Amino acid sequence: MLSVTLGACTLEEGNKEQMVNLQEVKDDPAAQLQNLNAALENSKRDGSLYARRAVVLLQNGELEKALEDAEEAVKLMKNEPASLFVKAQVLRAMGRSEEALPLALTAERNSFQRSSLYVLLGELYLQRKEYEQAMAYILKAQELSPADEFAYYYKGRVQEATGDSASAVRNYKLALEQSPNFMQPQRELAALLIDRGEHAAARPYLLEAMHQAPKDAKLWYNRGLLYQAEQKRDSAMLAYNRAVSINDTLSDAHYRLGVHQLVIGNSDEALEHLEKIYKVYRSDREYLERLATAYERTGLNTKALSTYQRLLAVDPTATYVKRSISRLKYKIARPIPDSAAVRLQEQIER
């Protein structure tokens, strides 16, 4: 999703006689990397070669090596904006967006005007939830490149984040018109359509995206939602389990798995899922009720009591919860009968 065109930039470092003709090998990353390695053997002070190799390494997912080359390019090219842009992209791919943003902004201030830079800035501001600034950069990208599929995609992302799902759907489809195999808009489009109950329309987008990205946790989660809509509960649970096996922080999948285990009477298994997502759902009334139920069923009465108390604080109108609180207080305060205490001691000794 990172489009870099260093060939269009003015890179004056090094001996241009040693420059690799990247156009000849642009569709063969292995050959491209081999040629760049050979060129760098003959011209170790050419910053543009390091920048180009950083891009290839980035595309190959070799992020640490890509960062080393990007930093070398920045040093040799004396902070030339194209090299700053490359380094910003590598840092973004490494999840270091707060470090990437100032580099991208410096490249922009130094007159580096590329739609790919504006798309990157749009995405970085989207991550910060600064939606107005994100949209401003996406629109700049579209001014330079009206058919840029990434601009359409991120425009849709901003619109979805700000509640304009209808416009988001339109822009995801426009991104796919420019690039039919673009997985991310297929994924987001499928999720939006499923959320709207348009399951038949969502299916082809979802299945095509899964074909391209079989290890994408969000796709597996949405596959589970489709199965549930088709009344295929077991298949849905398998899909949710697959989702959390890929990304254990996927809270919505954990929630559905926890609810399912609670319904079928597996309270211990339900807690394994529900406890993991407390920080996300701690203000959700239905979640708290289910968590408290699971605690009480497994004999964790003190935790059940505190969860019901939390629920009442979240929703003071849930007066029925007071009965559960009273019941648990009685359970906790009630002494164990002598016979029960004897049996408990015998169990411990065994």
Amino acid 11: pLDDT: 36
pLDDT per residue over 25-81, tens digit each?
A: 355 778 888 889 888 888 888 899 999 999 999 999 999 999 999 999 999 999 899
**What are the structural domains, with CATH classification, of the chain?**
1-112 (1.25.40.10), 115-180 (1.25.40.10)
Amino acid 339: pLDDT: 53
Q: Residue 290: what residue type?
A: R
- Cα–Cα distances (Å) from 238 to 213, 220, 232, 260, 290, in that order, read 18, 9, 10, 12, 21
No. of H helices and E strands in the chain? 20, 0
Amino acid 2: pLDDT: 45
Helix axis angle, 81-93 relative to 63-76, nearest 10°?
Answer: 160
| Residue numbers in the chain where pLDDT is lower than 70 | 1-27, 335-350
Amino acid 41: pLDDT: 85
Amino acid 3: pLDDT: 44
Amino acid 349: pLDDT: 53
- Cα–Cα distances (Å) from 182 to 175, 177, 199, in that order, read 8, 9, 20
Q: Which tokens in the block code for residue 12? A: 């004056």
Q: Which tokens in the block code for residue 145? A: 């490149």
Amino acid 337: pLDDT: 59
Amino acid 45: pLDDT: 84
The contacts of residue 279 (CB under 8 Å, 6+ apart) are none
Amino acid 338: pLDDT: 52
Amino acid 23: pLDDT: 40
Contact (Cβ atoms closer than 8 angstroms) between residue 85 and residue 107: yes
